[in-house]
Amino acid sequence: MVLGLTASLLVALPVSAGAQPAGAEAPGLYVVQFAGAPLATYSGSVAGIPATHSPLSRDVGAGRCLAEPSGRSGPRRRGHDHRVIDGGFWPENPSFAALPEPRPDADAIAAKWSGECVTGEHEPVTCNNKVIGARWYNQSGYGDPANGEFLSPRDRAGHGSHTASTAAGVPVDASAAGAPVGQVSGMAPAARLAIYKAVWHVAPGVGAGGTTDLLKTIDDAVADGVDVINFSIGDGYDEFDPTDVAFFNAAAAGVFVATAAGNSGPGAGTLDNAQAWVTTVAAGTHDVRYAKAVTLGKPSNVNYPSIAIGDFVGRQTVTRTVTDTTGRDSVYTVKVEAPPGITVKVSPTELTVPAGGSASFQVKVTAATPIMNRYAFGSLTWSDRAGHRVRSPIAVKPIMVRHPAAITGSGSAGSQALQVTPGYSGTLKAAPLGLTAPSVTTSRLVGTCTSSATGLSSVPPRAERSSISPARHPWA
């Protein structure tokens, strides 16, 4: 099989030995004739690589037509030419390494393949028995070395290599986040590739190609003898355009065409390249979540040298662990300077730390006569006989009451629990505060109503009008 790649990946299926459509030059080889004006005179629109990435690889399904029901590799993946129309390829990529010789499909490929390896003018490429053909098209003028592009089939942005290797890359060792994950390959690793570069890097994350160039790639791919065309390109328009006609003729010639559904549109199901004669490929997502509850610790227990407790009520115990860096055993004694209005107790008060080892202690903080809603500061200091001192600052902010910022409920009757923790000893009262009574203002309309068009006479107001202001919360 020979895969043809234009701006994406083109994969071709074997042409059946039936009646040949007009334009057939030889069994299994067809030349597409496009309807309408000559290609060279069509200015056309701009097509490009999708600007946003799907959560899943958008081209992964392009080669599914080649898989057996079990999904295993087999003879069906040999003897076919896949054509990729995209941004070119990087020939040094191991996914495009030469296939082992001799090839069992060599005669079948030689009988139908008539393409070329056009290496290019700038940063030329090389072909082998894996990538057996390459061409590049720049009549549109989008290919500009000033943008870092190569005037050759060489891939500048990486999208072309991505689509080509997804369709028919050979097995290679892969890793994820630095960890080996085994071998990966394209959908048809034994198929041959033909690369047709018609999309060019024009800005970071942006690729573009002219319709004239894209039409020429489709024409050339069919004439070269590809079996499958993969087209991971979209233009964002819903109008019928010349590439649709080109793919219709390619399909009529027996070439299987796989196109990308696109990554944008007004709706979740908006499709690009949705013609009836192509296979539109997409990867979707779902809203299933694999969630599990996680119990988190208190932020004040994070093992910092300092001890900080915000929104402090009543009492709280925190834990700290220290590690020796002197390389010798030592015994430390603690000295506490408690914040004003706060009592601080450390347990144990004497800490034995082995050389290079660690030891833990607890600090119990209790509100005695605190000043509410203000930070109070203190410290604790560990010292040994060798003169080593380790100081930990303490910052505590006592508050009157700890409570959730809001609670929600529904229904016309019932109750809702509210967890409240007071920061002092005494009585805590709660009283509901509801909406105030509405304010009603009454006034009388003044004026007349006349209409010369209807001949109505002046009439006095028939009723009083009252305005009612909405109820307001007393805190508003």
In the predicted structure, residue 56 carries a pLDDT above the cut 90:
no
pLDDT of residue 42: 32
> Can you give the pLDDT at residue 446?
62
User: Does residue 281 register a pLDDT over 60?
Assistant: yes
Residue 159, pLDDT above cutoff 80? yes
For the chain, how long is the longest CA-to-CA vector? 111
pLDDT at 424: 77
Query: Is the model more confident about 159 or about 62?
Result: 159
Q: What proportion of the chain, given as a percentage, has pLDDT over 90? A: 46
pLDDT of 68 reads 27
- Specify whether the CB–CB gap between 260 and 233 falls below 8 A: yes
Indicate whether 5 pLDDT > 60: no
Whether residue 409 has pLDDT greater than 90 = no
By mean pLDDT, which of 177-186, 279-288, 448-457 is the weakest? 448-457
Residue 454: pLDDT band (50, 70, 90) is very low
Task: Look at 12 and 168; give whichever has higher pLDDT.
Answer: 168
Asked if the model's pLDDT at residue 27 lies above 80, the reply is no
CA–CA dist 319, 298 (Å, integer): 10
Tens of pLDDT, residue by residue over 81-130, are 666 777 899 999 999 999 999 999 999 999 999 999 999 999 999 999 99
Higher pLDDT, 150 or 80: 150
| Band of residue 395 on the pLDDT scale cut at 50, 70, 90 | very high
Mean pLDDT for the chain? 77
pTM of the predicted model as reported, rounded to 2 decimal places: 0.50
Band (pLDDT 50/70/90 cuts) for residue 296 is confident
Helix axes 242-252, 211-224, angle to 10 degrees: 10
- Give yes or no for residue 147 having a pLDDT over 80: yes
Residue 10's pLDDT band (cuts 50, 70, 90): very low
pLDDT of 15 strictly over 50: no
- Residue 13 has a pLDDT of 29
pLDDT in tens, 412-445: 788 888 888 888 777 888 777 766 677 777 777 6
Cα(377)–Cα(312) distance, integer angstroms: 13
Domains defined for the chain, CATH in brackets: 2-174+184-281 (3.40.50.200), 299-401 (2.60.40.2310)
177-198 pLDDT, tens digit per residue, is 889 999 999 999 999 999 999 9
Say whether pLDDT at 49 is over 80: no
Q: What is the pLDDT of residue 419?
A: 84
pLDDT tens, position by position, 362-375: 999 999 998 999 99
Residue 402, pLDDT score = 85
Q: What would the mean pLDDT of 324-331 be, rounded to a whole number?
A: 92
Q: Dump pLDDT digits (tens) for 244-272.
A: 899 999 999 999 999 988 877 777 777 88
